[in-house]
C-alpha cells in the first residue's frame, strides 16, 4: 500500500512538473548569431553541412535498411515502446523542406518540432544541443538539398503515459538544459575540438553511458562516458574512461585514430553497433577531427579499479573450462591462434583483449552467437569477419568457450553460464 502511494505521489509530481514546464514556455533559446557560415558561398556551406551530417550520423536513424536516404520510418526501440524517426528530406509536405534555419535550430538545440511539439530524446538532441549555430545552419543548408521523398511520418508506438507530451515536458524539466558547447580555456585547440565532436555531433554518450529508469543519461548534463548497457539492443558500450574497459589513456595516439577511422587497430577491432558508427560516420571524418577526438578521449580522467577475480579451482569449475578449451581448439584456433594472439589487425588477439574481460560479458557472448562484422572502410576495405556460432554451439557450449576465453592466457574474469547466453540468443542483430 505504501509503495502504491509512493508511486502515485511520484507520478503526480511528474504531472505537476510537466504542467508547470509547459506553462513556463520561456526556454526557447534563439542562439548566438552565425558568424562563419553566413560568409560562406552556398556550395561551401552545403558541403560543410554534408560533412557534419556524417559526423552526427543522421543517416543511422533517419533511413531504414534499403530505404530512401533520410526518408525516416526507422523504429527505434526503447524500454517505453518504439519511436519512429521522421522524414527529414527536403519534401515540403512530409519532410523538412518548408523549415527555416530557425525552425531547424530549434529542433537540434531545443528539441522542439516546427509546430512546437516536444521531441523524444531518442533523437539525441541532448547531445546536439552543443552544436554551434554556424554548424546548425550549415546542416540546414545541406538538408534543403537532400532529394525530396514523399513519405508521411508514422505515429510513435509508445505505451501510456510515455506517449503524453506532459511526460516529455517533465522529463525535460528534470534532465535537459539546452546549452551550446563552450570551449575550456585551459585546454588545447585539439582537446576542445575533440570535446565538441564527442559530446555534440558524435553523441557518443547516447550509447556509452548508463541510463536511469526514465531513460536519461547519467552524469553532468548527460555527457558521462562511463559505459552502459544499450537498452533493448543488448550490447554493452564500454566505459571510455576506465582502463579495465575501453579507456584509451595508455593507447598510442596512432592506434586510437586507426581504431576510429578504419575500425581495426593492433589492440582491438570494433564490432556490433560500434562497427556501424565507424562505417556510417567516423570513417568519413578528416584526419584532423579524428586526431582531435583522440586527444580528448585519451585525456579523459581514468576511473575505477577492477577488482581482482579469485577463481574457483574446484573440479566442476575446472571441467567447465576444459570443455571450453576443447571447443576453442575445434572452432576458433584457426583464426585466433594457439595462444590467443590472433593475427592483428585482421583477426583480433583474444589474449589481453579488454572486450572479453569486462564485468559485463554480453559482448563476447553476442559476437560468438551472432558473428562479427568489422566495418568496410577506406583504410580497411576488405574486413575479415567472424562467423556466427548460434547454430553450431548450444547455450552451455557458448558459455564454456566464453568462460574459457575469460580465463586463458592471462585473462582473468568470472565465468558466464548458459542462462546468460540464453538471454541474448533471441535478440536480433539490430
Ligand atoms: C539516434 C537516432 C537519431 C539520430 C542519430 C538523429 N536523429 Fe533526428 N530524430 C530522431 C527521432 C527518433 C526523431 C523524432 C523524435 C520525435 O518525434 O519525438 C528525430 C527528429 C528529428 C527532427 C525533427 C523532425 C520533425 O519533423 O519534427 C530533425 C530536424 C532531425 N531529427 C534532424 C536530425 C539531424 C540533422 C541529425 C544529425 C545531426 C539527426 N536528426 C540524427 C532520431 C535520430
Ligand atoms: C550506437 C551506439 C554507440 C555509439 C553512438 C558509439 N558507440 Fe562506441 N561502442 C559501442 C559498443 C556497443 C561498443 C562495444 C563493441 C566494440 O568494442 O567494438 C563500443 C566500443 C567503443 C570503443 C572500444 C573499441 C574496442 O574494441 O576497444 C571505443 C574506443 C568507442 N566505442 C568510442 C566511441 C566514440 C568516440 C563514439 C562517438 C563518436 C562512440 N563510440 C559512439 C556503441 C556505440
Ligand atoms: C574465420 C575466422 C574466425 C573464426 C573461426 C572465429 N573468429 Fe572470432 N573473430 C574473427 C574476426 C575477423 C573478428 C573481428 C570481428 C569484428 O571486428 O567484427 C573476431 C572477433 C572475435 C571476438 C571479439 C574480439 C574483438 O576485439 O573484436 C571474440 C570474443 C571472438 N572473435 C571469439 C571467437 C570464438 C570464441 C570463436 C570460436 C567459437 C571464434 N571467435 C572463431 C574471426 C574468427
* Torsional sign, CA 156, 159, 165, 171: negative
Max CA distance (Å), the chain: 74
Give the Cα-Cα-Cα angle 104, 108, 114 (nearest 5 degrees).
45
For atom 34 of ligand 1, which residue has the closest CA? Answer: 58
CA distance 20 to 92: 34
CB-based contact 28:106 (threshold 8 Å): yes
The CA–CA distances, whole Å, from 329 to 291, 336, 340, 387, 410 equal: 39, 10, 11, 16, 18
Between the CA of 285 and the centroid of ligand 3 the distance, in Å, is: 27
Between the CA of 335 and the centroid of ligand 3 the distance, in Å, is: 7
CA distance 127 to 134: 16
Mutating to test ligand 1, I would choose from 50, 86, 142, 153 the residue with most ligand atoms within 8 A of its C-beta, which is 86
For atom 41 of ligand 3, which residue has the closest CA? Answer: 332
Per-residue model confidence (pLDDT) at position 10 = 52
Output the nine-digit C-alpha cell for 13.
509530481
For atom 12 of ligand 2, which residue has the closest CA? Answer: 237
Cis link prior to 142 (omega < 30° from 0)?
Answer: no
Between the CA of 73 and the centroid of ligand 1 the distance, in Å, is: 11
Candidates 147, 141, 148, 130; CA nearest to 47 is 141
Ligand 1: residues whose CB is within 6 Å?
A: 53, 56-58, 60-62, 76, 83, 85-86, 88, 96, 104, 107, 113, 119-120, 122-124, 128, 139
Query: What are all long-range contacts of 387-392, with beta carbons under 8 Å and residues at least 24 apart?
Result: 389/331, 390/425, 392/331
CA distance 201 to 409: 39
The CA–CA distances, whole Å, from 263 to 186, 197, 290, 350 equal: 31, 18, 12, 17
pLDDT tens for each residue of the chain, 430 residues long: 444 554 555 555 555 555 555 555 545 666 677 777 778 899 999 999 999 999 999 999 999 999 999 999 999 999 999 999 999 999 999 999 999 999 999 999 999 999 999 999 999 999 999 999 999 999 999 999 999 999 999 999 999 999 999 999 999 999 999 999 999 999 999 999 999 999 999 999 999 998 888 888 765 444 589 898 887 788 999 999 888 899 999 999 999 999 999 999 888 889 999 999 999 999 999 999 999 999 999 999 888 777 788 999 899 999 999 999 999 999 999 999 999 999 888 898 999 999 999 999 999 999 999 998 889 999 899 899 999 999 999 999 999 999 999 999 999 999 999 999 999 987 866 5
CA distance 365 to 401: 9
Between the CA of 360 and the centroid of ligand 3 the distance, in Å, is: 18
CA distance 306 to 386: 29
Per-residue model confidence (pLDDT) at position 221 = 42
Ligand approaching nearest to the C-alpha of 194? 2
The CA–CA distances, whole Å, from 153 to 56, 77, 111 equal: 21, 17, 17
Per-residue model confidence (pLDDT) at position 223 = 59
The CA–CA distances, whole Å, from 357 to 147, 238, 342, 350, 371 equal: 46, 11, 16, 10, 18
Per-residue model confidence (pLDDT) at position 230 = 87
Ligand 2: residues whose CB is within 6 Å?
A: 198, 202-204, 206-208, 235, 237-238, 240, 246, 268, 270-274, 277, 293, 297, 355, 363
Per-residue model confidence (pLDDT) at position 193 = 98
Instruction: Give the side-chain half-sphere CA count within 13 A for 53.
Output: 26
CB-based contact 151:86 (threshold 8 Å): no
Mutating to test ligand 2, I would choose from 54, 208, 344, 375 the residue with most ligand atoms within 8 A of its C-beta, which is 208
Q: Is 106 exposed, middle or buried (0-12, 13-18, 19+ CB in 10 A)?
A: buried
Residue partners of 182: CB distance under 8 A and separation at least 6: none
Per-residue model confidence (pLDDT) at position 87 = 98
Per-residue model confidence (pLDDT) at position 1 = 44
Amino acid at each position: 500500500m505504501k509503495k502504491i502511494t509512493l508511486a502515485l505521489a511520484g507520478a503526480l509530481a511528474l504531472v505537476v512538473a510537466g504542467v508547470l514546464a509547459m506553462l513556463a514556455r520561456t526556454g526557447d533559446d534563439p542562439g548566438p548569431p552565425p558568424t562563419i557560415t553566413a560568409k560562406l558561398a552556398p556550395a561551401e556551406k552545403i558541403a560543410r553541412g554534408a560533412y557534419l551530417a556524417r559526423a552526427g550520423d543522421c543517416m543511422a536513424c533517419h533511413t531504414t535498411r534499403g530505404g530512401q536516404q533520410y526518408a525516416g520510418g526507422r523504429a527505434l526501440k526503447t524500454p517505453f515502446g518504439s519511436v519512429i524517426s521522421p522524414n527529414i528530406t527536403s519534401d515540403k509536405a512530409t519532410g523538412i523542406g518548408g523549415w527555416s534555419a530557425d525552425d531547424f535550430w530549434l529542433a537540434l538545440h531545443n528539441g522542439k518540432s516546427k509546430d512546437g511539439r516536444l521531441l523524444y530524446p531518442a533523437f539525441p538532441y541532448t547531445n546536439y544541443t552543443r552544436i554551434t549555430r554556424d554548424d546548425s545552419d550549415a546542416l540546414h543548408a545541406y538538408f534543403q538539398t537532400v532529394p525530396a521523398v514523399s513519405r508521411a511520418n508514422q505515429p510513435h508506438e509508445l505505451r501510456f503515459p510515455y506517449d503524453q507530451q506532459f511526460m516529455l515536458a517533465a522529463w525535460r524539466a528534470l534532465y535537459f538544459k539546452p546549452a551550446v558547447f563552450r570551449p575550456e580555456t585551459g585546454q588545447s585547440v585539439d582537446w576542445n575540438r575533440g570535446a565538441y565532436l564527442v559530446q555534440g555531433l558524435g553523441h557518443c554518450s547516447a550509447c556509452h553511458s548508463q541510463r536511469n529508469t526514465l531513460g536519461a543519461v547519467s552524469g553532468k548534463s548527460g555527457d558521462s562516458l562511463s559505459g552502459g548497457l544499450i537498452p533493448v539492443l543488448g550490447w554493452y558500450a564500454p566505459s571510455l574512461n576506465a582502463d579495465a574497459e575501453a579507456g584509451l589513456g595508455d593507447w598510442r595516439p596512432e592506434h586510437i585514430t586507426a581504431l576510429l577511422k578504419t575500425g581495426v587497430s593492433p589492440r582491438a577491432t570494433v564490432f556490433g553497433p560500434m562497427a556501424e558508427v565507424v562505417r556510417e560516420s567516423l570513417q568519413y571524418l578528416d584526419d584532423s577531427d579524428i586526431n582531435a577526438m583522440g586527444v580528448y578521449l585519451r585525456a579523459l580522467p581514468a576511473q575505477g579499479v577492477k577488482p581482482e577475480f579469485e577463481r574457483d579451482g574446484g573440479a566442476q569449475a575446472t571441467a567447465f573450462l576444459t570443455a571450453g578449451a576443447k571447443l576453442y581448439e575445434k572452432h576458433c584456433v584457426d583464426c585466433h591462434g594457439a595462444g590467443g594472439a590472433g593475427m592483428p589487425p585482421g583477426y583480433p588477439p583474444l589474449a589481453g583483449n579488454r572486450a572479453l574481460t569486462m564485468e559485463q560479458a554480453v559482448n563476447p557472448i553476442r559476437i560468438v552467437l551472432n558473428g562479427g562484422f568489422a566495418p568496410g572502410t577506406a583504410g580497411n576495405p576488405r574486413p575479415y569477419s567472424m562467423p556466427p556460432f548460434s547454430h553450431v554451439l548450444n547455450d552451455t557450449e557458448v558459455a564454456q568457450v566464453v568462460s574459457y576465453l575469460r580465463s586463458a592466457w592471462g585473462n582473468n574474469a568470472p565465468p558466464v553460464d548458459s542462462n546468460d547466453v540464453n538471454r541474448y540468443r533471441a535478440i536480433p542483430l539490430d
